[in-house]
Amino acid sequence: MGRYKETLTLLIAISLLLSVFTLAQPAIPREQTLVIGGAYWEPPKKYNPFNYGGSVSGTVGLIYEPLYLWIPIKPENQRFVPWLAADQPNWISPTEVEIKLRPEAKWWDGSPITADDVRFTFYDVPRKVPSSTWGGVRNYIIDVVVVNDKTVRFKFNQSANYADFLFQLYSAPILPRKYYEPYVNQYGDQLTDLAKWPVVADGKDPTKLLGSGMYKVLYTADDHFILERVDSWWGKSIFGTPAPKYIKGVVVYSNQVAANMLGSGELDWSCFYIPGGPTMVASGYALAFNKTNPLYLPANVAYLFVNTQKAPFNDPNFRKALYFAINIQNLISSAYEGAVTVSNPVGLLPVWSKYVATDLLQQYGYKYDPDKAKAILDAAGYKDVNGDGYRELPNGKPLRVQIIVPYGWTDWMFSAISIANDLRAVGIYAEASFPDFGVYINMIDSGQYDAAINNFGSFATPSPYNLYYWAFAATPGIWTGNHGRYNNTKLKSLIQQLGQVAPLPENEGKIKSILRDIQKILLDEMPALPLWYNGYWFLASQKYWTGWPTVNNPYGVPTIWNGQWQHGGLLVLLNLKP
């Protein structure tokens, strides 16, 4: 009888415990909830600011805030918007810049955000947690001086990477020193280990984090999370109060499922690539930034990387022939329904259009021209020797090209097929291959591939340095860049010089000169092939919310992608109306 009672008591306790967990999810009114998707691909339970790239999108922006936003909509109106900062950076000299904080800025507990927090973020953390996402600033920031409670002065060495600093001004999350310093001192670099994050700090319970942003974590599950508006948010007296009381982020693995959710109003804000997006917009089921094609703002550059460490991809003439052979506009029409635009041959996004050396582009004349491709291949010795309809290498050995993209990435799969067909049309035997994502990563990391589509580090930033460093100067790797393993000492030196030019008006001519020299090498060598500008995949339902940014009201980029809420997503929250 005693064992029975113990068992019964245990079962009751378990039942009560399960009921608590069942009731833990709050009931939230749909009309007060903004449902978002397109940035969440695993259970959304990590809110680690030290490794925000591997954490839930919105960790930086919604919970922890940056000094600035950066809005890259048009070349003429790209701008830094002071957020925690009170004004634009004040450059005292090329090696010293002063930034003032808003006097209103506070943490959720009501304590002020101070210059000491900024010093902790930009000076202490990079040295004690060097693998933090912004840890590289320790290589050029030699001091962060606390002038007073609301003023800091950054000091740089003579080889400062200003391009990276501009990027970190809107990317690095300002962290509360009083909250995180004990963890930084105790755990150091372990703080970036996402597997250990639930053990250290308060990552095991993200509802207890101390942030400063508009929203805090209310609930997490395997397939969604819920954030709740912070009604005492310090910024409401300056920016206003965001209308959605709640944000629900959903994990959806199928673009078609996302399309169905968007069309029915179950999904308010989509940053998925939606098949049939132009038709949904034309039929009134969804709103896009533009009403007609191209629907999407350019976000990054989709490259065809070729392995320059193996023949024939180590031959600049062969790489040039590939570019002339690919009908990029046809690819866009078939894979993207015309909703994005062709990249220029040097990969500069429209936000950097003032730096494009148009005279060089005209001189080299890169465009779709299969006859030109054939002529280049013939002259370089790539001919059909055995009469099978496909060219051989100059030494007579078979010429085969395999283009890889991850399985399930349907837009890239269609693109790879289109490219393979174009190459076959000029006599190059090519085929598209769709390995699982993990295999795709391993093939690029190990250099065991021919050609691959990728765009992981080609996003718009204040300087083209970030794009070119990623594409041609980084240590080769899927998460680092330089997938083609291209090695050009002169190009790498020019990219380094570009990063080290202080962002002062008097240096604009120097920046343009360096970029012109970079473009000349790229046009001579064609080390990787810029194909199209991947879009910020924004479509919205107006069933519950209006006030979305459009070409007629371009107040911000409507994106929720990780690390890019600062491109305008935060402004979207402030402009939406029920």
DSSP letter for each residue of 215-260: EEEEEE-SSEEEEEE-TT-TTHHHH---S-SEEEEE----HHHHHH
Looking at residue 18, its pLDDT comes to 37
Looking at residue 74, its pLDDT comes to 80
Residue 390 CA to residue 399 CA, distance in Å, equals 8
- Tokens 């860049």 sit at which residue? 481
Task: Decide if pLDDT at 20 tops 70.
Answer: no
Task: Decide if pLDDT at 465 tops 80.
Answer: yes
Residue 120 three-state SS = helix
Other beta carbons less than 10 A from residue 90's beta carbon: 12
For the ranges 191-200, 391-400, 456-465, which has the lowest average pLDDT? 191-200
Other beta carbons less than 10 A from residue 5's beta carbon: 9
What is the overall mean pLDDT for the chain? 93
Average pLDDT estimate for 164-182: 97
Q: Which amino acid is at 564?
A: Q
Task: Decide if pLDDT at 1 tops 50.
Answer: no
Band of pLDDT at residue 202, cut at 50, 70 and 90: low
Give the residues across from 145 on adjacent strands.
153
Task: Decide if pLDDT at 563 tops 60.
Answer: yes
- Tokens 């995949």 sit at which residue? 537
Residue 115 CA to residue 249 CA, distance in Å, equals 33
Looking at residue 197, its pLDDT comes to 76
Average pLDDT estimate for 112-133: 98
In 3D space, the residue among 285, 308, 289, 305 whose CA is nearest the CA of residue 297 turns out to be: 289
Task: Decide if pLDDT at 203 tops 60.
Answer: no
Task: Decide if pLDDT at 396 tops 80.
Answer: yes
The tokens describing 403, both together, are 């283009």
Q: What b/e sequence results for 297-322 when a residue is b if at least 16 CB atoms lie within 10 Å of its CB, and e otherwise? A: bbbbbbbbbbbbeeebbebeebbbbb
Q: How many residues does the structure list for the chain?
A: 578
Reported as type and span, the H/E element at residue 117 is: helix 115-119
Band of pLDDT at residue 22, cut at 50, 70 and 90: very low
In 3D space, the residue among 391, 407, 409 whose CA is nearest the CA of residue 335 turns out to be: 409
In 3D space, the residue among 260, 297, 253, 299 whose CA is nearest the CA of residue 276 turns out to be: 260
Task: Decide if pLDDT at 260 tops 60.
Answer: yes
Average pLDDT estimate for 137-154: 98
Looking at residue 409, its pLDDT comes to 87
- Tokens 């570019």 sit at which residue? 323
Average pLDDT estimate for 298-313: 97
Task: Decide if pLDDT at 211 tops 90.
Answer: yes
- Phi, psi values for residue 577, rounded to 5°: -130, 145
Note the Cα 409 to chain centre separation in Å: 17
For the ranges 46-50, 123-127, 316-320, which has the lowest average pLDDT? 46-50
The tokens describing 61, both together, are 């922006």
Looking at residue 410, its pLDDT comes to 87
Task: Decide if pLDDT at 120 tops 90.
Answer: yes
Looking at residue 254, its pLDDT comes to 86
Band of pLDDT at residue 14, cut at 50, 70 and 90: very low
